[in-house]
Amino acid sequence: MEITVEAWRQADHHQVGRFETYRTEVTPEMSLLEVLDLLNEQLVADGIDPIAFDSDCREGICGACGITVNGRPHGPVPNTPSCLQHLNRFPELTHFRLEPLRANAFPVVRDLVVDRSALDRVIEAGGHVAVNAGQAADADAELIDHDTAETALDFAACIGCGACVAACPNGAAHLFAGAKLAHLSTLTYGAQERGRRARAIAGQLDHDFGPCSTFGECAQVCPADIDLSAVAAVNREALRVSFRRRST
């Protein structure tokens, strides 16, 4: 079948971008990234620069492939990364408007590629734990019940794609940061950094991202299906530090 692709072309964040329209023949089983692969082959054959976009594993694990499709981060299918958005899931669509993840914190590098290092700075600020650098501890040295471990793993599933930031009208990263805080505060490891971690991550959020919109658009596009309770973890952890300070 033939589809129309409107792709955002921009040399770098200093240049003015524009949409360019292409038509190409595809098959229903193709993913959005495979459509871009095919289109780029045609562009190169015609002597035109290919469309730059990020991808890596193409298995929905790495978080590298985020693009905006018809105004929705990742694509029409909820909670699914761009690499797993296949045309047969939305057969009624024949026109695709592809652009980068739109957020002030994500400057455009080229075409559909954005700089998501603002998310890395959140992790650098507080997404770590201190452990003894000696002999490996026994697996049962710190007992964690099954439900607690499962809850921590659910929050740890975040792949850092940045779709939650692009979906939020305020460009907030509370779902991403809250997943890190909820994951690490649930476990016994890293408990001694809990307060410092909350302050550092909250401060980094204020520096690079906007305030939470409270609309919940982030959870609708998250490929890892992170629960909205992660958003509440940001304020909860910050308030915990404040109250503990007052009581001491």
Give the list of residues 6+ apart from residue 172 with CB closer than 8 angstroms, or none.
164, 165, 205, 209, 210, 211, 212, 213, 218
Q: How confident is the model at residue 244 (pLDDT cuts 50, 70, 90)?
A: low
Q: Are residues 93 and 156 in the same domain?
A: no
Q: Which residue has the higher pLDDT, 137 or 145?
A: 145
The proportion of the chain whose per-residue pLDDT surpasses 70, expressed as a percent, equals 94
Q: Are residues 155 and 75 in the same domain?
A: no
Range of the domain at 60: 2-110
The total of structural domains in the chain comes to 2
CA 210 – CA 175 distance, rounded (Å): 12
Q: Are residues 49 and 123 in the same domain?
A: no
pLDDT greater than 80 at residue 71: yes
Q: How confident is the model at residue 120 (pLDDT cuts 50, 70, 90)?
A: very high
Domain boundary among 84, 110, 136: 110
Q: Are residues 147 and 243 in the same domain?
A: yes
Task: Please write the tens of the pLDDT for every residue from 21-36.
Answer: 999 999 999 999 999 9
Q: Which residue has the higher pLDDT, 141 or 117?
A: 117
**CA-closest candidate to residue 81, choices 109, 61, 95, 97:** 61
pLDDT greater than 90 at residue 18: yes
Domain boundary among 44, 77, 110: 110
The proportion of the chain whose per-residue pLDDT surpasses 90, expressed as a percent, equals 83
pLDDT greater than 80 at residue 128: no
Q: Are residues 158 and 188 in the same domain?
A: yes
Domain boundary among 61, 82, 110: 110
Residue 248: the pLDDT is: 47
Domain CATH code at residue 26: 3.10.20.30
CA 128 – CA 123 distance, rounded (Å): 7
The mean pLDDT of 185-212, rounded to a whole number, is 91
